[in-house]
Amino acid sequence: MKKELIFLGIETSCDETAASIVKEDKNGKVHILSNIISSQVEEHKPFGGVVPELAARSHVEKIDIIIKKAIEKSKVPLKAITGVAVTSGPGLLVCLMVGMSAAKTIATFLKKPFLAINHLEGHALSPRLVKKITFPYLLLLISGGHSQFLEVRGVNKYKRLGTTIDDALGEAFDKTAKILGIEFPGGPQIEKYAENGDKIGFVLPKPILHTSGCNLSFAGLKTAVLHASKKIKNKQDKYNMAASFQHTINEILKVKCKKAMEMFLQNNKKNKENYFVIAGGVASNKTIRKNLQQVCADMNFKYIFPPAELCTDNAAMIAWAGIERYKKRLVDDVTFAARPRWPLDPKAPFLKGSGVNHS
């Protein structure tokens, strides 16, 4: 029988202030005892994107109450916590520092271990919150700041197979939405608009579709949407554009996921079962989920698609990464400094979107 582990997780890397208590019981079963998130979407809407100083101020105002709520909801006395885990990069420096100061204070005061978590590792390990799949597995992370294929080889062991060479996928969704006059963040609205549209209403390009391995590129697509938008005359045209954009994304992901799966299989010839998992805000898009389920069936991969609330930024994945790292004795010192840029695979060449959150 194992030891019970309880972690407080804190996340403030971008525009969500979040805290969570996660427990792994003596039988290895995982329990999310609380998962509190306060989004700043309304505060950033007038500016059409996240304003760092505004985000940091909002984190400062909310962090105490969010942590308090997470602890109260979990019904775990603070002194029973095993350790404190906090997102320490990549992300906006002024935002990261808010969560890190709180985490360092709590850990020091309670004399508990402090763990500095890479936000991308939080996403990468999040499927294991839902199901204890074994390493290695293939991850597609698609958010407002990142778009990457990662081979998750173990805790702290990642190989990046591909990344975006320009915009992140969430950025492409948000920019397309902006062109259509939809408020920030428009990704979820594009999905709604697309339901009423004709997916072949507009013909859009698929940059680097058959070149550059499973790397991705969305900047040219965004520019094409901007040019084609000149033909938009009415609401139906907007629906058609949303549907065409989403369809093009799905076509790109289909080809690139298959390529990433081939690369993964090549690296893991002895694997008996191959798992494909997704994370990041864009992974909550239902048409993308359906499309990727079909890709998994075609390529004989099993899949774990965590629920939307664990795909978008949250602190449960940070608490969980804390538990996973603690079990490997990967504990940090409270002098750990925030890392605005922090790639998961340090050997991978630098490309935009490879370890810097520019959302």
User: Which stretches of the chain bind ligand KG4, using CB under 6 A?
Assistant: 14, 143-145, 170, 173-174, 185, 187-188, 190-191, 280-282, 284-285, 312-313, 359
Q: Residues 129 to 158: which contact Zn ion by CB under 5 A?
A: 143
Residue found under tokens 């449960």: 316
Smallest distance, Å, CB 224 to ligand KG4? 18
- Asked if 321 contacts 125 with a C-beta cutoff of 8 angstroms, the reply is yes
- Pairing type for strands 275-279 and 137-142 reads parallel
Min separation Cβ 165 and ligand KG4, Å:
18
* Residue 353 interface partner, choices Zn ion, ligand KG4, none, CB cut-off 5-8 Å depending on type: none
Q: Which is nearer to ligand KG4, 38 or 267 (CB)?
A: 38
Q: What single-letter amino acid sits at 185? A: P
Q: How far apart are CA 57 and CA 43, in angstroms?
A: 11
State the nearest-atom distance from the C-beta of 313 to Zn ion, in Å: 4
Output 71 or 141, the one with its CB closest to ligand KG4: 141
Q: Which option in ligand KG4, Zn ion, none does residue 180 bind, with CB closer than 5 to 8 A by kind?
A: none
282 binds, among ligand KG4, Zn ion, none (CB under 5 to 8 A by kind): ligand KG4
Contact 84, 10 (CB under 8 A): yes
Residue 359 touches which member of Zn ion, ligand KG4, none, C-beta under 5-8 Å by kind: ligand KG4
359 touching Zn ion, by CB under 5 A? no
d(CA 28, CA 345): 28
**Nearest one of 318, 320, 322, 264 to 120, comparing CA atoms:** 318
Nearest CB to Zn ion, comparing residues 20 and 82: 20
Count Cβ atoms within 10 A of the Cβ of residue 33 and give its class: 0-12 exposed, 13-18 middle, 19 or more buried: middle
Residues 297-356 that bind Zn ion (CB under 5 A): 313
Distances 349 to 136, 145, 162, 264, 339 between C-alpha atoms, Å: 22, 17, 10, 18, 18
Query: To 5 degrees, how large is the angle CA 351–CA 286–CA 283?
Result: 30
Place of tokens 């173990």: 154
Rank residues 62 and 123 by Cβ distance to Zn ion and give the closer one. 123
The least distance separating ligand KG4 from the CB of residue 211, rounded to whole angstroms, comes to 25
Give residues in contact with Zn ion (CB under 5 A).
143, 313
